[in-house]
Structure 1
Amino acid sequence: MAEVQSGPRARYREQTRAEIKETALRQLADGGVAALALTRIAKDMGLSGPALYRYFASRDDLLNALIRDTYDDAATAIGGAAARSSAAAASPRERLRSLAAAYRDWAVGEPHRYLLIQGSPVPGYVAPADTLDRARAVLGPFLPVFAGGAPGAGVAPVVEQMTAWLGSDPAVGGWVAEYAADTAADTAASARALAGALLAWAQLHGSVGLETAGQFAGMGHSVDTLLDAQIGMLADAFGLE
Structure 2
Amino acid sequence: MADTGAKAPRERYRTQVRSEIKQHAWEQIASAGASALSLNAIAKRMGMSGPALYRYFAGRDDLLTELIRDAYRSLADTFRAAAGSGADLAGLAHALRGWALEDPQRYFLMYGTPVPGYQAPDDVTLIANEIMQVLLDACAALELRDGRAPFDEHLESHREWAAGHPAPAPVLRRALAFWTRMHGVLSLELAGHFAGMGFDAALFFESELQELTRSGT
Q: Which amino acid aligns with 1:197?
A: A
User: Where does residue 9 of structure 1 map in the other structure?
Assistant: 10
SS at match of 1:230: helix
* In the alignment, structure 1 residue 150 sits paired with structure 2 residue 129: no
Q: 1:204 to 1:133 in 2, by over 3 A?
A: same
Are 1:118 and 2:96 counterparts? no
Deviation at 1:35, TM superposition (A): 3.6
Query: When the two structures are superposed, what TM-score results if normalisation uses the length of structure 2?
Result: 0.89
Contact residue 129 and residue 162 of structure 2 kept, 8 A: no
**What residue is the counterpart of 1:129 in the other structure?**
122
Partner of 2:96: 103
Unaligned ranges ≥5, structure 1: 87-94, 177-182, 184-188
| TM superposition shift of 1:12 | 1.5
Within 1, Cα distance between the matches of 2:76 and 2:32? 25
Counterpart in the other structure of 1:213: 191
Give the aligned CA root-mean-square deviation in angstroms: 2.5
Name which structure has the greater RCO, CA cutoff 8 Å, separation 6+: 1
Q: Deviations over 1:202-228 (max 9, x none)?
A: 011100011111111011111111111
Structure 2 residue matching 1:19: 3-state secondary structure = helix
Deviation at 1:30, TM superposition (A): 2.1
Find the counterpart in structure 2 of residue 191 from structure 1. 169
Percentage of pairs with the same residue: 43
Partner of 1:40: 41
Displacement, 1:6? Answer: 5.9
Aligned position for 2:153: 160
**Structure 2 CA distance for partners of 1:145 and 1:20, relative to 1, 3 Å:** same
Rounded to whole Å, the distance in 2 between the matches of 1:158 and 1:120 is: 27
**Residue 84 of structure 1, CA deviation:** 2.1
Which amino acid in the other structure matches residue 52 of structure 2? A
**Cα distance in 1 between the residues matched to 2:133 and 2:115:** 25
The letter of the residue matching 2:127 is R
Long gaps (5+) in structure 2: none
Q: CA, structure 1 residues 6+96, in 2 after alignment: closer, same or farther (shift >3 Å)?
A: farther
Query: Does the CA-based 8 Å contact 1:142-1:196 persist in structure 2?
Result: no
Aligned residue in 2 for 1:172: 163
Judge conservation of contact 2:129–2:163 (CA < 8 Å) in 1: no
Deviates more, 1:212-221 or 1:194-203: 194-203
**Does the 8 A contact of 1:165 with 1:172 survive in 2?**
no
Deviation of 1:140 (Å)? 2.5
TM-score normalised by length of structure 1? 0.80
Letter in 1 for 2:29: L
User: Conserved in 1, the CA contact under 8 Å of 2:61 and 2:118?
Assistant: yes
Q: Which moved more, 1:202-211 or 1:227-236?
A: 227-236
CA contact (8 A) 1:163 1:191 kept: yes
Aligned length: 215
For 1:91, the equivalent position in structure 2 comes to none
> In 1, distance between residues paired with 2:44 and 2:177?
44
